[in-house]
Chains A and B, each alone.
Chain A
């Protein structure tokens, strides 16, 4: 009796465990990020709460966002509260949905069950997918309807989110990558801390000079790059290379990956050469691991988003002097023709919500784009303002005075020419493509082939994903 009871119990346990695992129809998404939004500081206690609506008749809208830490816990609720207090027709409720990937997954599930927000914040690389899914109302419709003035907005930022001649989503949090370096280590290595490297070759030479060893052990690495597909995209852009064909998919649907060009190969060769020489450290895919090594003084230079500046400054806390510089280019001439791509996220209006909710969504989007809000947002987060008038706000002036390193971010945005290269690739399978590149970099560093071979293979995989995407979406590129 005992025996059969036990067997029954075991069988039931087994079945329930096995079957529960095989139920991907469930929409629950795990807690952490696969693709890291460049959110800045370490998670601290979220403090701000959302005040109740002023009027019972206010139209309630949900705003899904992916900002963790202080930015999501304090800045976003504060902005929502100010919006709610500024008028009594609309009431916005921000809801943190995890990483951009998590949020996108919940949105995909929500679109089928009609459980959608009026406004959702998504990453830059989700742009083509969102447009192709036909689930959004382009903000261009609202802009045209009321003649909203765009002249103050940063043209490079708007250009990124312009697809098929329309601005589809409103930029919200924008950033680019830049070079962070340790000025004290520069001085110790006999380098001029006010002259950071500008080109690939200069970077390599500086990294060599900065690397220090005790016997066999490297105590300080000259530099470190996290294995993050976004960095490759940026290096490619500053080299003047296209990620995909049809001018980065901006003059018609992209059908082929083109990052296996000489520009791409040169980046891979450079990266690999420095790792092999032991002057560039590899701390894996997580950008935070590389950042921590820099903060601990174990690497002298690293690449990261402008959005982490405040987090880096707070963590370094005066232990050494932090410098920032432009992302290195392959040569000086590239500064004229190429530049970094806008990264970050934008706000989308979902079209299956009632018209009044969409109208409120637009009101909220306009509110967050106002100079005062953009200035507050920038000083809280380290993303840069999407409009020029924000720089006249006292808050931003004070902030730039306190963190002069931020000027690099602003200048880098303004020196970048606005062309198809700096607008960046536009494809519906960007998250997959980014991951393919990350695996390719791992293969490169592990010596699984030449730069050309590895990039060719990666490009073939992305091209294949693109064609599968068009088939499943019923699009004829």
Chain B
């Protein structure tokens, strides 16, 4: 680009020579592919890249309560992120939340999928039950759990009392609110995880199990040596999706706790929402969004470079 004088003759000579047949075909294929991709590329551009750029732009301003930029402040909002505890606290809570939810979801989904994969009569009924939470919206599930968690009239505490355990102030206490919300999140993710794992299990060729059985492998070793390795790529996919979903959990928080009590459930995305829509701190919220984006990008790169090496592809 710096030396057009050097490049120009090359281009000219290329033109003079003309493109060879295969090259022409490549160019044509490229544009054809672009044509096919155009609808999604345009959507990507309009709904994702432009907002991203706008978010970055907004993060360098102080705004009025309607969100109109009022004063350019450069990187001040980012300094504020690290100077005040708001951001770091909600980041730590989000990480805790990921730790609470993702391994639990994967483990439970694996157990449910293994059960659903058994060849029994009417197994499809169980498959439907196990995957039912896909059909329930986050808001509905949150409302359901709110009733279950109610400190005095909720069924969970009623059952606990029947077996002699002191009632837990689920959503009211600082220490139990995050686990309580995590449970809802796990419940919501479980259906999808189970279905995907089940589908992966069913795509494992029967011959492998048959020959393992001939070799005298028992159920457990068939599971460990055949099923699990075959599931690793699916696990990897679910791990990424679940971590991202956990980082972005919003609905249960908004409906059940509004980030409280004592900020104990004020996860990153909820904190962004609150600063943006509620406190009118548009620039600060935009800066938080950019940080969230960078964190998740970093996490994803880490997963692809480090974790992916351990994955077995068919």
Contacts and interface: CB of A to CB of B under 8 A. Distances in A.
Interface in A272-297: 281-286, 289, 292-293, 296
B286 A24 contact: yes
A2 B65 contact: no
Nearest to A443: B262
A111 B278 contact: no
Contacts of A285: 257-258, 260-261
A143 interface: no
Contacts of B279: 429, 431-432, 465
A21 B276 CA distance: 13
B63 A472 contact: yes
B51 A284 contact: no
A16 interface: yes
A204 interface: no
**For this complex, into which size category does the number of interface residues on chain B fall?**
35 or more
A472 B254 contact: no
Given A18-B296, A24-B289, A439 B51 contact: no
A438 interface: yes
Contacts of A435: 278
B297 to A, nearest CB: 7
A20 interface: yes
B52 A22 contact: yes
Contacts of A117: none
B206 to A, nearest CB: 20
A23 interface: yes
B197 to A, nearest CB: 16
A333 interface: no
Interface string B226-267: 000000010011001100110110110011011011110000
A399 interface: no
Contact of A472 (B65, B250, B285): B65
B300 A18 contact: yes
B248 A431 contact: no
A387 to B, nearest CB: 32
Given A18-B297, A285-B258, A469-B65, A30 B251 contact: yes
Interface stretch (B119-127, B147-155, B208-216): B147-155
Contact of A431 (B48, B64, B278): B278
Instruction: Choose among A26, A111, A283 the residue with the greatest number of B CB atoms under 10 Å from its CB.
Output: A283
B40 to A, nearest CB: 9
By CB atoms of chain B within 10 A, which of A21, A24, A293, A299 has the most? A24
A22 B66 contact: no
Contacts of B261: 227, 284-285, 442, 446
Interface stretch (A3-11, A239-247, A318-326): A3-11
Contact of A25 (B55, B277, B293): B55
Instruction: List the 10 closest A-B pairs by CB distance, nearest first.
Output: A23-B51, A19-B48, A284-B172, A22-B289, A22-B293, A472-B64, A108-B66, A442-B261, A298-B152, A442-B262
Interface of B: 44, 47-49, 51-52, 54-55, 58, 62-68, 70-71, 139, 146, 150-153, 169, 171-172, 174, 233, 236-237, 240-241, 244-245, 247-248, 250-251, 254-255, 257-258, 260-263, 269, 272-274, 276-280, 282, 285-286, 289-290, 292-293, 296-297, 300, 304, 308, 313-314
Given A10-B240, A22-B290, A129-B65, 17 more contacts: A7-B304, A18-B297, A21-B293, A22-B292, A24-B286, A25-B51, A26-B51, A30-B254, A282-B172, A284-B171, A289-B150, A429-B280, A442-B260, A442-B262, A448-B262, A471-B71, A472-B62
20 contacts: A3-B313, A7-B308, A14-B240, A17-B248, A19-B49, A20-B48, A21-B248, A21-B292, A24-B55, A24-B286, A30-B251, A34-B274, A112-B66, A112-B67, A283-B150, A285-B261, A438-B260, A469-B65, A472-B280, A474-B64
